[in-house]
Structure 1
Amino acid sequence: MTGVTTGVTTGVATSAARAATALKAARDHLLGLQAPEGWWKGELQTNVTMDAEDLLLREFLGVRTAEETAEAARWIRSQQRPEGTWANFHEGPADLSTTVEAYVALRLAGDPPSAPHMRAAAAYVRGAGGVESARVFTRIWLALFGQWRWEDLPVIPPEIMFLPPWCPLNVYDWACWARQTIVPLTIVTAHRPVHPLPFGLAELRTGRPARRVSRTGWDAAFAALDRALHRYERRPVAGLRRAALRRAAEWVVARQEADGSWGGIQPPWVYSLIALRLSGYGIDHPVMRAGLAGLDRFTIRENGTRRLEACQSPVWDTALAMTALLDAGLPRDHPALARAGAWLLREEIRGPGDWMVRRPGLAPGGWAFEFDNDGYPDVDDTAEVILALRRLGRPDARPALERGLRWMAGMASRDGGFAAFDADNTRELCLRLPFCDFGAVIDPPSADVTAHVVEALAAEGMARSPVVRRAVVWLLRAQEPGGSWFGRWGANHVYGTGAVLPALAAAGVRPGAPCVRRAVAWLEAHQHPCGGWGEDMRSYRDPAWIGRGEPTASQTAWALIGLLAAGERGPSVERGVAWLADSQRPDGTWDEPHYTGTGFPGDFFINYHLYRLVFPVSALGRYLSLHETAGSEATP
């Protein structure tokens, strides 16, 4: 027995030594990525619709240049797969609408339909149902250029601006990202502009009717509503229409951020610029100039190509990087952490936002995702910033932390859970509208956000508070039958489970509790033989993919963080740590082409380039901290 014990101890010691070596390299690499101002920011990689729609926007506004077009076209071509299609994530299935938009952008860039890569793309589009089967948003782009009839698109009239917040289908029933897109689109679809292109798209058509919704239940009711709205569009009440368009334009202008964006995200940004142009704002108007100039900060130029980020995440990345470095043992007074903490304190949001519609009596506080989207602080970022800042022990941070804690706790929904941007944004009628066939359009509570709030509040001594108790009950009810939790903002059940287990531990749930044991069993059952974890984005649509996918550094780290929080110290943890050490690059980071971040579950995905580094640093740091604690306890 002594020999067996010695062998196990030696193996764990060797694993710890390898983990320490990997951690040092990763920590040093992460420190080297900090900006002089104190923040971290990794690229947010998405898909080529960002670049295609940017070219289409510039064409519509009359500001497209030959250089921008050539650079974007090179990038779009570089992302085309051998069979001629484009996907929404690495090694994902071909996506019809993405392929249509990429194709149109390349036609705009001068690629002839007879070119082999264009013929292949067109053949796929026709085989997948043609532009007739593309999503509504893609067909809106086609309508802007005379390639689709406006009469054949669903209608959302600008008169919805007059619906009060208590009325179904008012603009605040949509999630913040959706309402910021819907409002400018009410202007666009009311004007029904056409900017003719010098070419047609007959090669993308099948001649079949556009896809239709079900004729039963709610779908039939909303189809009837859409038909009624089409009749109204032919003869709207003139005075009411003018007032509605004016109200919508004023709403859009009021929500432009300091960097020129709308919400710091691409969809409302491009539609707002088009809407304001149609509302009479000239290209030289300060609002338009700021909007177009702001896109440059979201543009990456590299090797003769040009690509756009859908959004940026400096506040989120900085909070995660700080937590990772603290987990790695960096002293809390280290200059890098001091700079980061000071920068985060300057990013606190003290002003109003749309969240006040549902929580009018709540004092502002908290943090947003990006440099300048100050109109939209979010619960998830606020929780992560609190978790990072509190560990620095800065007396000057306490007032901001107190304000953030109060605001975050006040954003609980009625059921006890927490969503990202709004409280009680759960009215599912929005999902039934024919207009909304792409992406999440409401913002209900999710397990990952609720877990981060629980962890942050518990860390501040509020584990037994009513808000945390209700949130824990919400989490327990949200656990899947197999033991995992759904991940709204990360892929998917690995992310959700890796977030909830530390929260339950912080809230005082025992490692032996059945909910924890089921979650541990789920993680262990989905570990790859190589030791890593991975979950493909297809898991949002196809349950067969839940817990399955190529192992990645970020997802392996999420699983390890969850297991360590649950008190696990066995073979699964050791194998996961070994996989991270074995797959590390010589420069201290990890390769991760697979997407692990989620924008809209099932529709829009993100590769956070910093995830592959910050989460492994946290996982390895926590593993070594527990290993050292166990070693000291074993010392006589």
Structure 2
Amino acid sequence: MRSQTEPSDEAVDATRAAVDRAVANLLARQLPDGSWMGELESNAAITAEYLLMRRYLEVTDTAREAAAIRYLRSQQQADGSYSIAPGVDGDVSVTAEVWVAMRAAGVPADDPAVAAARRFVADHGGIHATRVFTRIWLALGGLWPWSELPVVPPEWVLVPGHRIGSIYDLASWARATTVPLAILRTLETVFPLAGPSRSELPLGAPVPPVGSLTWRSVDRLVRLYGKLPKIGLRRLALAEAERWVVRHQERDGSWAGIQPPWVYGLMALRARGHGLDYPVLRRGLEALDTFGIEDEQGFRLQACVSPVWDTALALWALLDAGLDRDHPAVRRAVDWLVDREVQGLGDWAVHVPGVAAGGWPFEFYNDQYPDTDDTAIVLCALDAAGHRRDDGTPAGAAMTRAVNWLQAMQGSDGGYAAFDRDNNRHWVERLPISDFGEVLDPPSPDVTAHVVEAFTRCGGAELARRRALAWLRASEEGAGAYFGRWGVNYVYGGAATATALAAAGERADRERLLRLGRWVRRHLHDDGGFGESVLSYHDPRHIGQGEATPSQTGWALLSLLAAIEGSQGLDGGDELEGAALAAADWLVRQQREDGSWSDRLFTGTGFPRAFYLRYEMYATVFPLMALARVVGPDKGLKGPS
């Protein structure tokens, strides 16, 4: 007799059919070189800044501008604002940047969309209420006085990297942005705009400055220093900052593979007197356009691209679904990933000297900044494809180097950050420019869990694995909740943690896994879906709450399956199995005819409380991975034989 939580024949057949359709969809989306890459959507400020940068550098293209403006119009909310993510109220900084960009591109001030955006800014504190980086964009166009913005002395780059107070105290992304910004701020660079005029700015009332009192005092002292004769020191510092920028350009022309240091780098080189024919500038401009997407909505710029991440996840999901390891798609993906291995030393080596390179980046090329999260996921995918460390293949050799590199990147507390080891000098958080996103890269449960799973699967790092496991266990918040740094939010951190603990298979984690599974079950919607809003980073009342999405329901199902597997023998398994069946049924019902799923909301995290993303691939990869584990031969919800 079948138990109440055992899936019916019809449910098993429907799930297997959904898996087959999703496999066919992913195979059809594989690119000829063996990779996968979906769109990485963010907010409208990225495209607005692209428009402004092109105006500043006098790289204008009427058709491109028109397409970008069409996209910006499509993103405007009913109240005239632009938000940091769907379902979130308008953001004054994003709206101000879009308004200025549209005016700079020649859209009249009385255009209804432009007027509505300006009105929103005026009603929400004006330009004074925007973040520092928005006012930096205005200063670059001559619309805001540089004297009212924090100083960023280029002498910062002269501090030895291993010393406290160097630019290497900043997180990788903040560091890569700050160096070119120091050039622009020091030169008080202005690229004059034809419009808007200063008189158009809705200023609003002044607001208290950002940064602690101590660091605001330091800012005043640095301003005084800037007025003194430097006997060549300032000239030396600017030259070294420029060399730093040039050295950090990647092979594809990008900087750190992300938009902020890229656009600031281009403008800084122009401010230093280089023409658009300067090879570094030319490569950077040409490469930036490859991050653009143009369709019926218009033209938009991606803040980043995610081919390594997408490829590793897609490969892993297909292998979970039973695709043969000898399938041509698997072989092409493995070869592509191996070719993307980072083999040169990057910024991470400043604090981790004497260690050989290894690992993978997020993007096509990011030799300066490989990251532990991508490296862990690639290792898991290569292991699923049948490769082993030192198995005599290029993949096996790359895995060995990656495991060695990951061990060296472990924090002193046992946890794992994404890009650096022990990036925890909190003084940088008090700087007057630190009002947007994160400026440190601390360890997180999601990254640490991925590394634990990679070490468990690949071996060769037992001491590091046990230290990471201890850190992960200690990161539990409340009953079964684990923070998600790079995905929204606790359901993402929970899925990474649950699958890692289940893979580790230690008896001591059975109760922990059961708590985690119960946390997911408590927040599951009545119809089996799961959603958690980006607002969960802003207000704890939103934790585990929100409109259901396929990617988050996939994470919830992965958590439940891992909890069921890892807590066997404890009371409570039936309730988790019922929740898992409901989540699987929701995913089957939400699948589109072409075998894919689609997220309406953003479920990726760039900076909590500031910058969010929608990974196009997430909505299909994670439901496929989860459903494949529901009906897989070694999983807990097999149904009748």
TM-score normalised to structure 2 length: 0.95
Counterparts of residues 547-566 of structure 1 (less than 5 Å): 547-566=544-563
Match for residue 570 of structure 2? none
Match for residue 593 of structure 1? 600
CA contact (8 A) 2:35 2:333 kept: yes
AA matched with 1:447: P
AA matched with 1:208: A
Counterparts of residues 172-187 of structure 1 (less than 5 Å): 172-187=168-183
SS at match of 1:301: strand
Structure 2 CA distance, aligned partners of 1:39 and 1:147? 44
Aligned length: 625
How far did 1:511 drift?
A: 8.1
Q: Residues 338, 627 of structure 1: CA spacing in aligned structure 2 closer, same or farther, 3 A cutoff?
A: closer
CA contact (8 A) 2:162 2:350 kept: no
Q: Does 1:531 align with 2:538?
A: no
Counterparts of residues 472-491 of structure 1 (less than 5 Å): 472-491=469-488
Structure 2 CA distance, aligned partners of 1:388 and 1:511? 27
Q: Deviations over 1:199-222 (max 9, x none)?
A: 3144442442243247xxxx1111
SS at match of 1:602: coil
AA matched with 1:409: Q
Match for residue 257 of structure 1? 250
Q: Does 1:401 align with 2:408?
A: no
AA matched with 1:493: Y
Q: Residues 8, 416 of structure 1: CA spacing in aligned structure 2 closer, same or farther, 3 A cutoff?
A: closer
Q: Residues 270, 121 of structure 1: CA spacing in aligned structure 2 closer, same or farther, 3 A cutoff?
A: same
Match for residue 546 of structure 1? 543
SS at match of 1:420: coil
SS at match of 1:605: strand
Q: Does 1:358 align with 2:351?
A: yes
How far did 1:60 drift?
A: 1.0
Structure 1 CA distance, aligned partners of 2:204 and 2:25? 55
CA contact (8 A) 1:462 1:468 kept: no
163-172 vs 305-314, which moves further: 163-172
Q: Does 1:37 align with 2:37?
A: no
SS at match of 2:612: strand
AA matched with 1:348: E
Match for residue 26 of structure 1? 22
Q: Deviations over 1:289-332 (max 9, x none)?
A: 10000012101111372111111111110000010000111111
Q: Deviations over 1:340-387 (max 9, x none)?
A: 011111111111100101110211111111111122111111111111
How far did 1:64 drift?
A: 1.6
Q: Does 1:188 align with 2:184?
A: yes
Structure 2 CA distance, aligned partners of 1:513 and 1:95? 43
SS at match of 1:570: helix
How far did 1:400 drift?
A: 1.0
AA matched with 2:483: F
Q: Does 1:516 align with 2:510?
A: no
Match for residue 82 of structure 2? 86
SS at match of 1:414: coil
Structure 2 CA distance, aligned partners of 1:511 and 1:239? 62
How far did 1:391 drift?
A: 2.2
Out of 120, 125, 147, the residue aligned to residue 151 of structure 1 is: 147
Counterparts of residues 188-207 of structure 1 (less than 5 Å): 188-198=184-194, 199-207=196-204
Structure 1 CA distance, aligned partners of 2:4 and 2:536? 40
Match for residue 617 of structure 2? 610
Counterparts of residues 360-439 of structure 1 (less than 5 Å): 360-394=353-387, 395=391, 396=393, 397-439=395-437
Q: Residues 69, 481 of structure 1: CA spacing in aligned structure 2 closer, same or farther, 3 A cutoff?
A: same
Q: Residues 75, 460 of structure 1: CA spacing in aligned structure 2 closer, same or farther, 3 A cutoff?
A: same
Structure 1 CA distance, aligned partners of 2:422 and 2:307? 27
SS at match of 2:8: helix
AA matched with 1:573: A
Structure 2 CA distance, aligned partners of 1:623 and 1:390? 20
Structure 1 CA distance, aligned partners of 2:123 and 2:144? 19
How far did 1:462 drift?
A: 5.0
How far did 1:559 drift?
A: 1.1
CA contact (8 A) 2:55 2:193 kept: no
SS at match of 2:613: strand
AA matched with 2:418: A
Out of 256, 268, 273, the residue aligned to residue 266 of structure 2 is: 273
AA matched with 2:363: E
Match for residue 449 of structure 2? 451
How far did 1:167 drift?
A: 3.2
Q: Deviations over 1:72-115 (max 9, x none)?
A: 11111111111101011112111111000000111112222222
Structure 1 CA distance, aligned partners of 2:384 and 2:517? 27
TM-score normalised to structure 1 length: 0.95
Q: Does 1:248 align with 2:245?
A: no
SS at match of 1:574: helix
Structure 1 CA distance, aligned partners of 2:264 and 2:203? 28
Instruction: Give the unaligned 5+ runs of structure 2.
Output: 565-572
AA matched with 1:571: G
Structure 2 CA distance, aligned partners of 1:630 and 1:140? 55
CA contact (8 A) 1:468 1:507 kept: no
AA matched with 1:123: R
Q: Deviations over 1:216-264 (max 9, x none)?
A: xxx1111111111122223351411000000100000001011111011
CA contact (8 A) 2:209 2:432 kept: no
Q: Deviations over 1:577-625 (max 9, x none)?
A: 0000111111111121100011111111110000001111100001111
Structure 2 CA distance, aligned partners of 1:361 and 1:158? 28
How far did 1:12 drift?
A: 3.3
Structure 2 CA distance, aligned partners of 1:631 and 1:318? 28
Q: Residues 83, 326 of structure 1: CA spacing in aligned structure 2 closer, same or farther, 3 A cutoff?
A: same
Structure 2 CA distance, aligned partners of 1:233 and 1:526? 55
Instruction: Give the unaligned 5+ runs of structure 1.
Output: none
Match for residue 322 of structure 1? 315
SS at match of 1:606: strand
CA contact (8 A) 1:505 1:511 kept: no
Structure 2 CA distance, aligned partners of 1:304 and 1:83? 20
Match for residue 102 of structure 2? 106
Superposition RMSD in Å: 1.7
How far did 1:631 drift?
A: 5.3
SS at match of 1:368: coil
How far did 1:629 drift?
A: 6.6
CA contact (8 A) 1:266 1:311 kept: yes
Match for residue 211 of structure 1? 208
CA contact (8 A) 1:263 1:373 kept: yes
Q: Residues 437, 26 of structure 1: CA spacing in aligned structure 2 closer, same or farther, 3 A cutoff?
A: same
AA matched with 1:292: L
Match for residue 569 of structure 2? none
Q: Residues 149, 8 of structure 1: CA spacing in aligned structure 2 closer, same or farther, 3 A cutoff?
A: closer
Structure 1 CA distance, aligned partners of 2:464 and 2:515? 25
How far did 1:520 drift?
A: 1.4
Q: Residues 209, 261 of structure 1: CA spacing in aligned structure 2 closer, same or farther, 3 A cutoff?
A: same
385-394 vs 162-171, which moves further: 162-171
Structure 1 CA distance, aligned partners of 2:250 and 2:547? 38
Structure 2 CA distance, aligned partners of 1:472 and 1:462? 15
Match for residue 285 of structure 1? 278
CA contact (8 A) 2:176 2:261 kept: yes
CA contact (8 A) 2:495 2:556 kept: yes
Question: What is the percent sequence identity of the aligned residues?
Answer: 47
Out of 486, 491, 496, the residue aligned to residue 493 of structure 2 is: 496
Structure 2 CA distance, aligned partners of 1:295 and 1:166? 32
